[in-house]
Amino acid sequence: MSKKIVVIGSSNIDLIMQVERLPIPGETITGGIFHQTFGGKGANQAVGAARSGGDVTFVSCLGDDSFANDIIESFKEDGINTKHVFTKEGIATGTALIMIDQAGENCITVAPGANYELLPEHIDAIENTLQEASYLLLQCEIHPATLSYIIDKAWQLGVKTILNLAPARDLLEEQLAKLHLLIVNESEAAFLLKSPVDTIEQAKAAAHTLAEKVAHGVIVTLGAKGSYTVTADDAFMIAAKQVKAIDTTAAGDIFCGALTTALVEGMPLAEAIRFASAASAVAVTRLGAQDSAPTRAEIEAML
């Protein structure tokens, strides 16, 4: 069986401001500390998968600005195959503005830029690469029409697709049915079901409801409380590693990347989730998105 992972998704420049607390509307807070790093949910997933030991090809679209070459070189340093990282003239690379408070909580705004220039024609061009993949990993920071096209294409090719529904957006029932695994947090589950998911019991109920719509299973991540998983023949809770969080920005992305690596290696799902949880636990103790992604050795040390 192939051990290749294909990640299709966004790549951003992250402009980060550490502040004492998050401002309310109309308020200015001074005394912040500024950082510029590489981010984007797709790129974060790719880096998370690669550093945890995965053989990763990343598919994305960058602008023609000064950031693009630096981003590509950064991917190459992590051993990521970049032959399908496209560029679009006259468009800016995606950009995220991130504020982080002293408790590690954040608020984020994103300008998609070139991420929305990744089109179905690009997906057709990588069909051979998709066919060679064991797993396809997705999120929702690319154009909705392209995301739908990718899900359909992967289904036709028989590639197992893992989708992290972040940021949350509506999916048709027939698209959910084509997913191997759906990964959502409480707010994303609530968005899909149009009902509150504020407690662990509500999260468990949401997972069971969503699992009826997905080919193999659903993972509802619960932050510091862990995650709850439902498949066709099992349901289980996995506790999170308890650490002091500094920045939770890419925790979910790193979780997804490491999980995919573990599944490609043949780990049972529960073991793969423990591996991914350890990766996420390391990530939240560090500032930044891709900067926070741990190596395989660091994940195993956390385990």
Q: Report DSSP state, residue 4.
A: E
Which DSSP helix (H) or strand (E) runs through 149? helix 144-157
CA separation, residue 50 to residues 102, 115, 142, 259 (Å) = 29, 21, 21, 11
147-179: burial string, b at 16+ Cβ within 10 Å, e else: bbbbbebbbeeebbbbbbbbeeeebeeebbebb
Of the candidates 55, 78, 247, 253, the residue annotated as catalytic is: 253
Tokens of 8: 């299709």
Work out the burial of residue 280: count CB atoms within 10 Å of its CB; fewer than 13 is exposed, 13-18 middle, 19 or more buried. buried
d(CA 50, CA 75): 9
253 is catalytic: yes
d(CA 234, CA 228): 11
Residues taking part in catalysis: 253
